[in-house]
Structure 1
Amino acid sequence: MTKLSVNINKIATLRNARGGNVPDLLKVATDIQRFGGQGITIHPRPDERHIRYQDARDLKAVVTTEYNIEGNPQHNFIDLVLECKPDQVTLVPDAIGAITSSAGWDTIKNQEYLTEVIQEFQKNGIRTSIFVDPILEMIEGAKKTGTDRIELYTESFAHQYSLGNERGIDPYTKAAILANELGLGINAGHDLSLDNIKFFKENIPSLLEVSIGHALISEALYLGLDNTVNMYLNKLK
């Protein structure tokens, strides 16, 4: 079964919009795991507009499943990850001020940089994953960095699927086949939802984990958080 890691950035956004501690980020993380979620993902950004660095530290005590911290490996982020020692770090090439992730790494151009960062995390017992587009050259480049896993950036698939184009999955299937041949673990995320997750999972061989935040939290407004988490789990079986 593909694991479901729930990104709780949007819970932090809602909390920060009003101040105070409602909703309680730590309680939500605890509840998601109690409902069956198999991991908690956060993506702190330098301006701390949703997840704060202190949240990352506080969550360490309540995440009992898999703790995944995503972000651009700049100096402060690297220090935070080494302090928190999550189960997994996912490296994402976010531009400063970006609203959300918009592209995977150029693993060829950034190979030396990524290799250095990955080695530092692995030396500290942290599994590494890097955000990549479904481009075969980028998958091959990822392998050369020494990363444990890749996370396929799925915005293009989600857009094409919403238009009724199921062939939009093809580059992802080919990328996954190559990743498997190279011995890379496969994660995926971005714009995956209840509408498309089952089809995506069925067409990606050996998909280990999906990280879903915006869609899941939005769907939970109508369906309830417990129900939504379990609907995802059923589709990922």
Structure 2
Amino acid sequence: MKPFSPASHAPEFPVAPHKTALSVNVNKVALLRNTRHLDIPSVRRAAEICLQAGAQGITVHPRPDERHIRADDVFELAALMKDWPDREFNIEGNPFQNLMVFVHDLAARGLPLHQCTFVPDSEDQFTSDHGWNFPEDAERLRPLIEEAHDRRVRVSLFMDPVPEAMAAAKAVGADRVEFYTETYARAWGGPEKLKALSRFTEAGRAAAAINLGVNAGHDLNRDNLTEFLAAVPGVLEVSIGHALIADALEQGYAATVQDYLRCIDQAFVSA
């Protein structure tokens, strides 16, 4: 088997080296659509408008029960991404459930998949709420990471902000980690905010020290995003769904995406 190297798979987002990319998670559009039978609102159209507005990627998390994103959505969105060769498609999910099926099938169909984010959620879990544990999860993750690499797909591991776990994630073959940020979002605006944020800063530094890429997601929003990015070094991508789609109900997709991009820009202006 040919050894995998990061340079052999999909290129990084076409942004400045320090700039964070915005990947829009469209799961909540699918959740609303699934309450009726007329394909309204359109998940594909939502993704297209977000890309037109400047989002650098689209994220989906297709769970086995298809309570929001369905298998057909995954393939339709992957086909859409062929028209946007400078943007990225990221699929989140548990690799011990249905995620690897999509990794294999997209490759077999010649459809783009740039990144898969391994998330340790159970089939009936309300939402993702914790990261992988090391060393407990290491050996069972390793062969699945290799499978994704064989198909030239970058792998990000959903992780809690634990600095000492960064080396373990790197050792098992991950290209990136995605910090689970709900603990920061819950603390934002309260007396524990700086303490919560410092954990992410330390974990980001630990990842940077070993050349492990950092993504972030879960309950980031227009209020807390700029401060997070200013404090955590080298965040390559934020994946935002719930808050962004909620804001879009009031502002529209395009204006909302542009608002989040301004939040990202502000983090680097103030840095």
2:159 and 2:180 in contact (8 A); partners too: yes
Q: Which of 215, 234, 242 is matched with 1:187 structurally?
A: 215
CA distance in 2, matches of 1:232, 1:81: 29
Match of 2:186 in 1: 159
Match of 2:232 in 1: 204
AA aligned to 1:69 is I
Q: Hey, which bits of structure 1, 4+ residues long, moved more than 6 A?
A: none
Match of 2:98 in 1: 76
AA aligned to 1:180 is A
AA aligned to 2:185 is A
Match of 1:87 in 2: 114
Alpha-carbon deviations, 1:208-227, whole Å to 9, x = none?
A: 00000000001111222111
CA distance in 2, matches of 1:139, 1:161: 24
How far off is 1:20 after superposition? 1.9
Q: Superposition pairs for residues 1-237 of structure 1, below 5 Å? A: 1-63=19-81, 64=84, 65-74=87-96, 76-85=98-107, 86-167=113-194, 168-237=196-265
2:92 and 2:99 in contact (8 A); partners too: no
AA aligned to 2:50 is I
TM-score, L = length of structure 1: 0.97
Unaligned runs of 5+ in 2: 1-18, 108-112, 266-271
How far off is 1:140 after superposition? 2.1
Alpha-carbon deviations, 1:155-204, whole Å to 9, x = none?
A: 00111114253312000000000000111000000000001000001011
CA distance in 2, matches of 1:204, 1:46: 33
- 1:18 aligned counterpart, secondary structure: coil
How far off is 1:138 after superposition? 2.1
How far off is 1:61 after superposition? 0.9
AA aligned to 1:142 is A
CA distance in 2, matches of 1:219, 1:27: 17
Unaligned runs of 5+ in 1: none
AA aligned to 2:232 is I
TM-score, L = length of structure 2: 0.85
Q: How many percent identity over aligned positions?
A: 43
How far off is 1:58 after superposition? 1.2
CA distance in 1, matches of 2:117, 2:199: 21
Alpha-carbon deviations, 1:72-95, whole Å to 9, x = none?
A: 002532121221241000000001
